[in-house]
Structure 1
């Protein structure tokens, strides 16, 4: 009976450790996640889809919002959050842009798809 209990505990420990490894978020991967068409295509997406908040325009708000997000194993974007705020409306727009991007090619370590944390500054500049 003790042997069965020990085997069960070891199996449970292995399963739990494996599950934790599966959920690990890496800061750097052997192959970093890539946006379809590359980063130039991603910046074109940002530029074409950005809707400068009216209140920020009126107030003359310009600057950068730093956003952190995770590219999941399936290429979807999750966990977008503001690292450095500019103003509430610009922050919301930055989160909207990142969260609504198409699926990326996920990052890989040793050929296996992994979750990877990314960070990006988004510039808000009024036309001159």
Structure 2
């Protein structure tokens, strides 16, 4: 059995280098620059005598002297044609207006509920599956509040779209929409939901 000798100790670390002394502080003085604004030389205006026969401008220029006053600008004799703006189309139909067409909501709702009952019963008796069916009806509110151009935008079947359009045609008058303070023709869309129940 061979005994191993312990390893030799590591050499001691080298001594730290000697500290260098800080450099000596040097005396300084704060420098303040004295800036003076440069004044522009103001040139006095020329005497009135020198301005009698020259045109007034932004700079001095050599050239011909004026003999008389400058010519007057050309006179407009008013013979041009002024085109007025095109007249507004009194029957223009608006999709969007500043003030929407409106109706007495309680009266309108009562009208729809009373008139749509028979179409709901007809659809249920014809075998339409129970559920909620919505028909969107688009119509034109005229300047006098009457309703025209009534169209159903979708049709769930069983006569509901035609019934919704008929009921809206027979509805009460509306207050027309307004654009720029004037009553105008405008479109309105009314969703109508039919509740079909089991028979």
TM-score bracket, normalised by the shorter chain, equals 0.7 to 0.9
Distance 2:120 2:137 in 1: 17
Contact 1:53 1:93 in 2 (8 A): no
The alignment status of 1:25 with 2:93, answered yes or no, reads: yes
In the alignment, structure 1 segments of 5+ residues that lack a partner are: 1-6
Name segments (4+ residues, structure 1) moved above 4 Å: none
The alignment status of 1:126 with 2:126, answered yes or no, reads: no
The two structures have a TM-score, normalised by structure 2, of 0.50
Which structure carries more helix by proportion?
Answer: 1
Which structure carries more strand by proportion?
Answer: 1
Q: Which has the higher contact order (CA 8 A, sep 6+)?
A: 1
Query: Higher Cα Rg: structure 1 or 2?
Result: 2
Distance 1:41 1:31 in 2: 20
CA RMSD in angstroms, aligned pairs only:
2.3
Instruction: Note the 1:39-58 alignment, pairs <5 A.
Output: 39-50=105-116, 51-52=118-119, 54-58=121-125
The two structures have a TM-score, normalised by structure 1, of 0.75
The alignment status of 1:34 with 2:109, answered yes or no, reads: no
What CA deviation, in whole Å up to 9, does each residue of 1:55-110 have, x standing for no partner? 41121255111111000001000000111111151111101111001111111112
How many residues were matched structurally? 113
